[in-house]
Structure 1
Amino acid sequence: MTIVIKRSKIAAALVGTMALAGSATVAANVDLSRLQAEQTQIHNRSAQSQERIDSLFEQSRELLADYREVVSQYESLRVYNDHVQRLVEDQQSQLNSLQRQIDGIEETRQGVVPLMYRMIDSLEEFVALDIPVRNENRTARVERLREIMTRSNVTDSEKFRQIMEAYQAEMDYGVALNAYQGDLTINGETVAVDFFHLGRVAFLAQSLDQRNAWRWDNEAREWVSLDGSYLNPLTQAIRMARNQTQVDVVRLPVAAPENAE
C-alpha cells in the first residue's frame, strides 16, 4: 500500500514536471515566432527602405545627367550667341560703311549733275565754233543729251556715259579721214557736193560734177572757192577716204596754224 502511494506521488510529480516543461516550451515557441515575425517586418522595412534609396539614387543620377546636359547646352548656346553677336557687329559695321558710301554717293551726285550740265554747255559751244563737219548730227547729239538730262528713268551714270561718248566722238573727228555727201548753199543756191575732211586740218567740198570746189574758212565762218588746180587732188582724196584707191600724198589747201602769243 505504501509503495503504491509513493509511486503515485512520483508519477504526479513527473506529470507536473512535464507540464511545467511543456508550458515553458510553448512559451519559448511563442517568443520565437514573435521574433521571427519582427525580423520579417524589419527585413521588409529594410527592403522597402533600400528600394526607396535605390529610387532616390537613380533619380539623383538622372538629375545629374540632366544638369550636365543643361550645362553643356548652356556652353554651346553661349559660344553660339557670342558667334552671332560678332556676326551682328560685323554686319552693322558693313551697314554703317554702306551708309557712309551712300551718303558720299549722294554728295558726289550733287556735284556730278552740275558738272554734266557744264560739260554739255561746253560741248555745244565747241560744236558751234568748230568746223561744221556733220554739223546737223553733232548739234542733234547735244540736244539729245539735254533731253536725257531731264528724264528720270535714265540713271546719272548712263547720262554721264553718253556725255563721255559724245566727247569721244568729237575727238574722233579730229583724226578722221572721211568723205560723205550732202548739200552746200553757195550764193543762195543749193549744190549737191562731196564733203571731205582730214581731221580738223582741212574741210573741203566738191560738186558732184567735179567742176567746182570750196574750202571752209573757219575764221571767217564761210566757204571760199578753190581754183581748178585742186580739183583732181581733191577727187583723189575723196576716193582715198572711201577706200576706193590707195592712200597717197596729195596736195590740198589747209588752214595755216596760228602763232601762239
Structure 2
Amino acid sequence: MKYVKPLLLASAIAISFTSSASDLDKVISSSSQINETAATSQIKIDKIADSMQSRLQQFKTLNKEVEGLEVYNKQVQKQITNQLTEMAELAASMDQVSVIERQITPLMLRMIAGLEQFITLDVPFLAQERSERINKLKKMMDSADIASSEKFRRVLEAYQVEVDYGRTIEAYTQLLVVDGVEREVDFLRVGRLDLIYLTRDGKQAGVWDKKAKTFIVLPDSNISQINKGLRIARKQLAPNMISLPVQAAE
C-alpha cells in the first residue's frame, strides 16, 4: 500500500500530459487553420485593394475625359453659336444680293448704252472692234447662264479698255475711203489726241478733224514724222520725240 500514491500520481501526470499534448495539438491545428484563413483573407483583401485601386484609376481617367469633353462641348457650342450667327448674316446678305441684283442690271444696261454713245462720238479708231465689243456686251446681258457679277466684270473690263486707249500709242492697218476710192492705209493713233492715216505707198496722209467729223489731208511735210511715229508704235524704233499735228483741246 506504500506505493499506491506514487503510482496514482504518475498515472495522473501521464494522463495530464497526454491531455495537454492533445490540447496542444488542437491549438496548433486551430492556429494553422487561423493562419490559413488569415492568409486566404489577406489574399482576398489584396485582390479587393487591387480592384479598388484599378477602379480608382479608371475613375480618375474617366473624370479627366469628362472634364475634357466638357471643355470640348463648350468650344463646340461657341462654334455652333458663331455658325448660326453667320448663317443669319448670310441669309440677310442673300436677301440684299437679290435686291442689288435687281438694281445692278438696269445700271449695267445704262453703262453699256453710255459706252456705245461715247464710242459713236469719239475718234473713229478701231471702229469695228469697238462696235463688236458693245454687241457682245448686249448679247451677254440677254444670257441667263452668266452670273450678274461676271456680267458686271465684263462691262467694267470694256470701260477699262476704253480708258487705256487714251494713254497708249498704236499702229494698225485698215481700209479707208480716200478721194472716193477704198484704199488700205496705215493708221497711227496717239491716245485720243490724233488719228492719222498714211497710204501704203507713203504719198498721202490725213488726220481726223473732230469738228468736221472727217479726215482732212495733211501737207507732205508731215509724212516723215508720221512714218517715224508708226515705227515707234510698232516697236521698230526706240521711243523718241516726234512732231505731229495736234488739234487744240476744247
Query: TM-score with structure 2 length normalisation?
Result: 0.74
Unaligned runs of 5+ in 1: 1-12
* CA–CA distance in structure 2, aligned partners of residues 96 and 169 of structure 1: 43
Q: 1:99 to 1:197 in 2, by over 3 A?
A: same
Letter in 2 for 1:236: Q
Are residues 1:240 and 2:214 paired? Answer: no
Counterpart selection for 1:225 from 216, 232, 237: 216
Does the C-alpha gap of structure 1 residues 146 and 100 become closer, same or farther in structure 2, counting only changes over 3 Å? farther
Instruction: Structure 2 unaligned segments of length 5 or more: list them.
Output: none
Letter in 1 for 2:41: I
Moved more, 44-53 or 88-97: 88-97
- After superposing the two structures, state which structure 1 stretch, 233-242 or 156-165, moved more: 156-165
Instruction: Report 1:84-163 matches (<5 A).
Output: 84-92=72-80, 95-96=83-84, 99=87, 102-103=90-91, 106=94, 110=98, 111=100, 114=105, 115-146=107-138, 150=143, 152=145, 160-163=152-155
Any conservation in 1 of the 2:173–2:187 contact (CA below 8 Å)?
A: yes
User: Are 2:198 and 2:226, in contact at CA under 8 Å, matched by a contact in 1?
Assistant: no
What is the aligned partner in structure 2 of residue 182 from structure 1?
A: 174
SS of residue paired to 2:192: coil
TM-score between both structures, scaled by the size of structure 1: 0.71
Deviation at 1:47, TM superposition (A): 0.7
Shift of 1:39: 0.4
State how far apart, in whole Å, the 1-side matches of 2:197 and 2:226 are: 11
Structure label with greater radius of gyration: 1
**What's the CA shift for 1:194?**
1.9
SS in 2 for 1:204: strand
Measure how far apart 1:69 and its partner are: 0.7
Distance 1:205 1:101 in 2: 59
Deviation string for 1:199-240 (max 9, x for gaps)?
2122233333344444434456x42432x52x3315522422
Cα displacement (A) at 1:31: 1.9
What CA deviation, in whole Å up to 9, does each residue of 1:162-211 have, x standing for no partner?
44433222112112222221111357642222222222122233333344
Backbone CA RMSD of aligned residues: 3.5
The answer on whether the counterparts of 1:192 and 1:207 sit within 8 Å (CA) in structure 2 is yes
TM-aligned CA distance change 1:212 to 1:147, over 3 Å: same
* Aligned-partner Cα distance in 2 for 1:237–1:84: 77
SS in 2 for 1:209: coil
Instruction: Give the total of aligned pairs.
Output: 241
